[in-house]
Amino acid sequence: MEIAICIYLFIMGTIFGSFYNVVGYRLPKGESIVFPPSHCTNCNHKLTFFELIPILSYVFQKGRCRKCHQKISLFYPFFEALTGILFVLCYLSFGWTLELIIALTFVSMMIIIVVSDYHYLIIPDEVLIVFGIILFIEILCIHGLHSAIYSLLNGLLAFITMYLIKKLGDFLFKKESMGGGDIKLLFIFGMVLSYPIAILSIFVGSLIGLPIALFILYKKSDHVIPFGPYLAAGATLLLLLQFNLDTIMTFYS
């Protein structure tokens, strides 16, 4: 039964991941996420059902458009597979519980944000607003009004802290140190993870991103590095580990 659930969630994750790819690519450009239907960006060939099967279509077509033979970006199957894996990890971490709903919603938002911020250095407000509302409703329905209000206060504290960090960075580096989307993203982190864990996600994300950023800057010194994907990685890791204040106290005791 456990294996069947994992397989089901992985398949569902790849399907949703395919859609999240579209949202992450189109939304920052102001394009509809529905029209036109999925197509080859080189020859505008409208993709058939068999060309839209997550991961497998890429493998069977050898990474190329069936009509014009243009190479298809590896990012598509990568994020499809990543979403499927994250869905399974959420289940393994939270089990078949109501908390799983919040976890799946959270990682779904992370995937869209990573795709968007990596390609366009933008975290769309629409994504933060829509998922923020959905997550708040889920917290309200699952944990009640008191917890929902508390989550908003945690989100506000995380937002203010990130804003102050940005201002300090702007002062030290004499330029824009991070985007507004990163600051707004911390509100969601605080709301879902709690304020202390949201702040911890900044440091975890920085530790994940530092070696990658140094390598990129070594190869191309003028390259702009988005911080959103590393924040997302840090927050997702802490979510899956169910890291909380009790974990911190146990570590130091």
* Predicted pLDDT at 173: 72
Residue type, 124: P
What is the three-class DSSP state of 176? coil
First to last CA, the chain: 38
Instruction: Tell me how far apart the alpha carbons of residues 224 and 217 are, in angstroms, rounded to a whole number.
Output: 9
What tokens does 217 get? 């800057």
* Residue linked to tokens 């990596």: 118
What tokens does 151 get? 């989550």
Rounded to the nearest 5°, which phi and psi values hold at 221? -65, -25
What tokens does 121 get? 């250095």
Nearest to 23 by CA among 105, 125, 113: 113
Residue type, 210: L
* Predicted pLDDT at 249: 41
In sequence order, what are the residues at sequence separation of 6 or more whose Cβ sits closer than 8 angstroms to the Cβ of residue 169? 177, 178
Count each helix (H run) and each strand (E run) in the chain, helices first.
10, 0
Task: Name the residue ranges covered by the structural domains of the chain.
Answer: 1-96, 97-253
| CA distances (Å), origin 149, targets 108, 137, 183, 185 | 23, 11, 20, 18
* Residue linked to tokens 């036109």: 36
> Digits of tens for pLDDT over the chain (253 positions)?
789 999 999 999 999 999 999 999 999 988 888 887 787 777 877 887 787 889 999 888 888 888 887 888 898 999 999 999 999 999 999 999 999 999 999 999 999 999 999 889 899 999 999 999 999 999 999 999 999 999 999 999 999 999 998 888 887 777 776 778 889 999 999 999 999 999 999 999 989 888 877 776 666 655 567 888 999 999 999 999 987 655 544 443 4
